Structure 1
Amino acid sequence: MNATGPSSAQVTVELSDCSAQDAAAVFDVLRTAFPQASPADGPGSAAVPPPDADGGATVWTETFDIVGAGREVPEGGAGTLTRPVSADVQGGYLAVDQLRTFLASVFAVSGEGAAFGDQEKDVHLCLANR
């Protein structure tokens, strides 16, 4: 992948340890600022069996085009989370940084780890209400 090509502006966001309501709150805020790479009606999900079945969980996934700095969330547009949400964000260095900065303008964000590659990075964040 070329760092200056269109794919360097795409960021995949995976949310776990949360309800569909919390995933929608996060993704709705992101949709106000960034277009989706593949638009959907609601949060896309890669569903794994429910926790009581085989210890699996649901992971909510969407991919966004980060073509510039995120626009501001309209007044009252920030969702409220019922509990902290784990977010894994993967994409080009600049795009991931822009998305993280935007999330920090809406939620309390703490970084819990990162993996750095040649042209991409993967950051694990915890999102909570401010």
Structure 2
Amino acid sequence: MNGTGLSSAQVTVELSDCSAQDAAAVFDVLRTAFPQDAAADGAAVSPPGAGGGATVWTETFAISGAGRAVPSGAAGTLTRPVSADVQGGYLAVDQLRAFLASVFAVSGEGAAFGDQEKDVHLCLANR
């Protein structure tokens, strides 16, 4: 066994075109639905030489099942639409996208399909 089953359940979420507050709102909802055993590995990354340019917020989640329901009123409110790039195994990405659609208004803006993973670009907004 090569362990690909475990890695296919890992989904990386990159948020851009948003404030730290909006990134926290999305990631807090995801952490509630997909609790992690270890401390969150979230990071803010600015491209080299960006000089105050765009910031990308990144976190990886272990997806097992459809995700826990978020208590009513616990979903954060976004100040503006957020761009989300989601990468991981087919089933895990589909589960995460379905969960996001239960909390936010989600529109798909593109996808790239690989042998064992797919990348999906989404736009998240308030319902």
- How far apart in 2 are the matches of 1:45 and 1:88? 14
Q: Following superposition of structure 1 onto structure 2, how do residues 60-75 of structure 1 map, counting pairs within 5 Å?
A: 60-75=57-72
> What SS does the aligned partner of 2:71 have?
coil
- Name 1:46's counterpart in structure 2: 45
Counterpart for residue 6 of structure 2: 6
The alpha-carbon distance between structure 1 residues 37 and 114, as it changes in their structure 2 partners (threshold 3 A), is: farther
Report the TM-score when normalising by structure 1. Answer: 0.88
- Counterpart amino acid of 2:39? P
Unaligned runs of at least 5 residues, structure 1: none
The one of 101, 107, 114 aligned to 1:104: 101
Who is 2:88 aligned against?
91
Contact 1:8/1:95 (8 A) holds in 2: yes
Provide the rounded CA distance (Å) in 2 between the counterparts of 1:29 and 1:71. 10
Counterpart for residue 113 of structure 1? 110
Offset at 1:40?
2.9
Post-superposition offset of 1:26: 0.1
Contact 1:115 1:121 in 2 (8 A): yes
* In 2: Cα distance, 1:12 partner to 1:93 partner: 12
How many angstroms apart in 2 are the aligned matches of 1:80 and 1:50? 31
Cα separation, 2, equivalents of 1:32 and 1:38: 14
Shift of the 95–22 alpha-carbon distance from structure 1 to 2, 3 Å rule, reads same
Which ranges in structure 2 are unaligned for 5 or more consecutive residues?
none
Tell me the SS of whatever aligns to 2:29: helix
> TM-score by structure 2 length?
0.90
Deviation at 1:3, TM superposition (A): 8.2
Among all aligned residue pairs of Structure 1 and Structure 2, give the percentage whose two residues are the same amino acid.
Answer: 83
Contact 1:38–1:63 under 8 Å retained in 2: no
Classify the secondary structure of the residue corresponding to 1:15: strand
Q: Helix, strand or coil: the match of 1:83?
A: coil
